[in-house]
Chains A and B, each alone.
Chain A
Amino acid sequence: GQNIDQPTEMTATEGAIVQINCTYQTSGFNGLFWYQQHAGEAPTFLSYNVLDGLEEKGRFSSFLSRSKGYSYLLLKELQMKDSASYLCAVTRNSGNTPLVFGKGTRLSVIA
């Protein structure tokens, strides 16, 4: 089975740093994705972690610990346009594997 948990909502201030956590229990885990989704739009790819450690990409970084079943997405220098849902998704180690999504974390950036 698969279980993915992330907070439902978070609020942060413009210019600040926010960390969105995701824990997962997935048999045959392969890798973890973070997607951003604005209301009414498609998920857009942010990051992909398959090895332990931190991947940095501009204002966004993502961390993975395979042994702990844990990931986080770190957003720095928050901007109003970062207000969106952030979706944690995992893949299994089985060929053409689909993404299994968590429920998403709705982030509100306030002035």
Chain B
Amino acid sequence: EPEVTQTPSHQVTQMGQEVILRCVPISNHLYFYWYRQILGQKVEFLVSFYNNEISEKSEIFDDQFSVERPDGSNFTLKIRSTKLEDSAMYFCASRGWTGWDETQYFGPGTRLLVL
């Protein structure tokens, strides 16, 4: 069964450093998302992406964040200058277009720790 994959599974970085989190969505999917989950808290939406542009972004997704689909398969989240509070699990999700079905399928996540 097709699945969303993410790399790396874990990333440790120093405050102020740039990180790039990578995702390969399910191959025939058209809509892509990034969510994050701080330890012990709820899953929060960051950004959605369709047709090579951002569809919607949350208040969390400030100028330090950017997304890119550099080729036909990868979808990346970049954090330009990490802060301690960026430590979280980052999930990529994707969905296809099958009429009314909006089901999003999540990747296994990247656990980011900022020291």
- Interfacial residues, chain A to chain B (CB-CB below 8 A): 30-31, 33, 35, 40-45, 48, 50, 87, 89, 91, 95-104
Would you call A100 and B45 a contact (CB within 8 A)? Answer: yes
If A41-B108, A42-B108, A95-B55 touch, whether A102 touches B101 (CB-CB below 8 Å) is no
Minimum C-beta distance from A12 to chain B (A): 22
Interface centre among A31, A42, A44, A91 (most CB of B within 10 A): A42
Instruction: Pull 27 A–B residue pairs with CB atoms less than 8 Å apart, ordered by A.
Output: A30-B102, A35-B106, A42-B91, A42-B106, A42-B107, A42-B108, A43-B91, A43-B106, A44-B106, A45-B104, A48-B101, A48-B103, A89-B43, A96-B31, A96-B55, A96-B56, A97-B102, A98-B35, A98-B45, A98-B48, A98-B58, A99-B35, A99-B43, A99-B45, A99-B93, A100-B45, A101-B42
State the total of A-B contacts with C-beta under 8 angstroms.
Answer: 58
Q: Taking CB as reference atom, which chain B residue is nearest A87?
A: B43
